Structure 1
């Protein structure tokens, strides 16, 4: 098994023009036992585990509300040459004989966050850390082409990770980007909310109650162009009001909500079904309300 893993790593590294650990000339960045620390930043909006990598920058596990866990490296100055890098989980030097475990390859960019891993790979790193292993990213140096190794220390990881798990369990179901602009669809001639509509609105309520910087909620009712304009205006008002009334029934202050009815004035599509809607837009303090020309297909009023 160990030989097969080594051959796999050798094949991956060779295809990327890299040399595996243990080679001379490789620049290695990583915290030692004496200076390995993990710091937890926690709120209902986001949980982050941050590890300082001396001489390089930071390694961060980040979990935003409504999203999956991700991992990234952050460096103030470019160290790795952009291209394909190799990610493994390996034993520290004081545990000889433990074969490294491949995680996969990763695209290394030239930004100050050159390495991003998705949820699956981030969980592999977490599992390795909990087993006392060190995640390591290897890529050619920006300057001389020699291998650069960035190691993430497992020392002092356990207790902050337990606190992270508690934080993750208390995250909101959604984040601001996900519900800043939301849409409730309606059947023809209908102004009734479905169970999925109420779930979406419940998520908006939970977010707004947690984020005190939200100062406005714009609720805009729309219809298709079937029927008379007078009837459509009344129906769009009914659709906006049913959404606003539900938000208020769940604890949102009436003072936050601005209700507007547009009838069939601002179609979002040539498809009638996509125009039968109520949109909800959140606005935070300091955000400048967007101005949108709302005429023709594809346009829509602010909100």
Structure 2
């Protein structure tokens, strides 16, 4: 999502502010009921702000990602299309100039508004400055605008606690490492510093997430060379990964290690086939029906 030029933004802001009908619906907490709630874990840090009559405004920082923002509502109040985000002065700060942030796409569904990290941080800066970030979009049920305004009351202290939470996040989240791949040069099986970093992150995550109960390590080769050589090479590649994960604290009985040789190419390019894949599986997840998973491996567990 690109931030617009200041001139374009000011023109859009003027259009929103000065053409707004008197009947615009504004949703937001007042001084008496402005609350922020922080949920903390090593997997994510979430700041939730109830917006009376609308739903919730949520800042969420997942492990391995940047801070993001979304609006959540059980009611369909905004019409899908392009909305405007502005940092406005609250009623008790007359005279402070509004600051345009950008345009945002409003979607259908229970989370109509999602923002990228740059716009999210612009909203955070406004809240810390005592301002009120506001999202405006035409109502779903009429031609009048709907305005959702965030209150800065009680925000600063909770944001400081959020920053402490971020310091304890894991380096990665499940989506980032549930399927990973290590690549090799011709006939290579040694792990690089970058590979060790990936495996360190996988081991750290698996030990923190008790719902992960299986780790599948599958070694592969290209189709250059004999079948016997390729089978041995793929076994060497897979075992090197498994041995390192065990050394980093993953129980051996969690790991299924398989060597496939050149049986299951991922591409017509040889370089894409020289690989070891690592796949995590959580409790209750249906095993993926991948060809590599169905191949006859070396039967090594751990």
Q: TM-score, normalised by structure 1?
A: 0.92
Q: CA deviation at 1:202?
A: 0.4
Q: CA deviation at 1:22?
A: 7.4
Secondary structure at the counterpart of residue 60 of structure 1: strand
Aligned to 2:195: 197
Structure 1 residues 127 and 246, CA, compared in 2 at 3 Å: closer, same or farther? same
Does 2:3 align with 1:11?
A: no
**CA-to-partner distance for each residue in 1:187-234, whole Å, 9 max, x for gaps?**
111110000000000000110110011111000000111111011111
Aligned to 1:210: 208
Q: Does structure 2 conserve the Cα–Cα contact (< 8 Å) formed by 1:6 and 1:99? A: no
Structure 1 moving runs of 4+ over 4 Å: 5-10, 19-23
Q: Does structure 2 conserve the Cα–Cα contact (< 8 Å) formed by 1:201 and 1:247? A: yes
Aligned to 1:42: 40
Q: Does structure 2 conserve the Cα–Cα contact (< 8 Å) formed by 1:266 and 1:301? A: no
Aligned to 2:245: 247
For the aligned residue pairs, the C-alpha RMSD in angstroms reads: 1.8
Structure 2 unaligned residues grouped into runs of 5+: 296-302
* Distance (whole Å) between structure 1 residues aligned to residue 11 and residue 187 of structure 2: 62
Q: Does structure 2 conserve the Cα–Cα contact (< 8 Å) formed by 1:81 and 1:140? A: yes
Secondary structure at the counterpart of residue 197 of structure 2: helix
Aligned to 2:65: 67
Q: CA deviation at 1:291?
A: 1.5
Question: May I ask how many residue pairs the two structures share in their alignment?
Answer: 291
Does 2:72 align with 1:80?
A: no
Structure 1 residues 229 and 8, CA, compared in 2 at 3 Å: closer, same or farther? closer
Aligned to 1:173: 171
Secondary structure at the counterpart of residue 301 of structure 1: helix
Which of residues 219, 222, 232 in structure 2 aligns to 1:221? 219
**CA-to-partner distance for each residue in 1:151-174, whole Å, 9 max, x for gaps?**
000000011111100111111111
Structure 1 unaligned residues grouped into runs of 5+: 295-299
* Distance (whole Å) between structure 1 residues aligned to residue 273 and residue 38 of structure 2: 45
Aligned to 1:301: 293
Aligned to 1:182: 180
Secondary structure at the counterpart of residue 264 of structure 2: coil
Structure 1 residues 185 and 302, CA, compared in 2 at 3 Å: closer, same or farther? farther
Q: Does structure 2 conserve the Cα–Cα contact (< 8 Å) formed by 1:33 and 1:155? A: yes
Structure 1 residues 135 and 258, CA, compared in 2 at 3 Å: closer, same or farther? same
Secondary structure at the counterpart of residue 247 of structure 1: helix
Q: TM-score, normalised by structure 2?
A: 0.92
Larger deviation, residues 28-37 vs 249-258? 249-258
Q: CA deviation at 1:301?
A: 3.4
* Distance (whole Å) between structure 1 residues aligned to residue 74 and residue 217 of structure 2: 42
Does 2:240 align with 1:267?
A: no
Q: Does structure 2 conserve the Cα–Cα contact (< 8 Å) formed by 1:91 and 1:134? A: yes
Structure 1 residues 7 and 217, CA, compared in 2 at 3 Å: closer, same or farther? closer
